[in-house]
Amino acid sequence: MADAPRVVIVDDQALVRTGFRMILAADGIDVVAEAADGDAAVAAVRRTRPDVVLMDIRMPGTDGLEATRRILADRAVEVAPPRIVVLTTYDLDQYVYAALGAGASGFLLKDVTPEHLTAAVRLVRSGDALLAPAITRRLVERFATSGGRSAAPHRELATLTPRELEVLEALARGLSNAELAERFRLSEATVKTHVARILSKLRLRDRAQAVIAAYETGLVTPGSDSRGSTGSDGPG
Residue 124 pLDDT = 86
- Confidence band, pLDDT 50/70/90 cuts, at residue 136: low
pLDDT per residue as tens digits for the range 48-94: 999 999 999 889 899 898 999 999 888 776 678 899 998 887 665 56
Helical (H) or strand (E) element with 200: helix 188-202
**Structural domains of the chain ordered from first start:** 6-130 (3.40.50.2300), 150-216 (1.10.10.10)
What is the DSSP annotation of 24-54? Answer: HHHTT-EEEEEESSHHHHHHHHHHH--SEEE
Residues 159 and 201: beta-carbon distance below 8 Å: yes
Is 146 or 203 the better-scoring residue by pLDDT?
A: 203
Cα–Cα distance, 164 to 100 (Å, whole number): 22
Helices (H), 114-187: 114-125, 134-144, 154-157, 162-172, 177-184
Buried b / exposed e along 180-206 (16+ C-beta atoms within 10 A): bbebbebeeebbbebbebbbebbebbb
Residues 58 and 16: beta-carbon distance below 8 Å: no
Q: Considering the entire predicted model, what is its pTM?
A: 0.71
Task: Please state whether 127 falls in left (phi above 0), alpha (psi between -120 and 50) or beta.
Answer: left
pLDDT per residue as tens digits for the range 171-193: 887 787 888 999 999 999 999 89
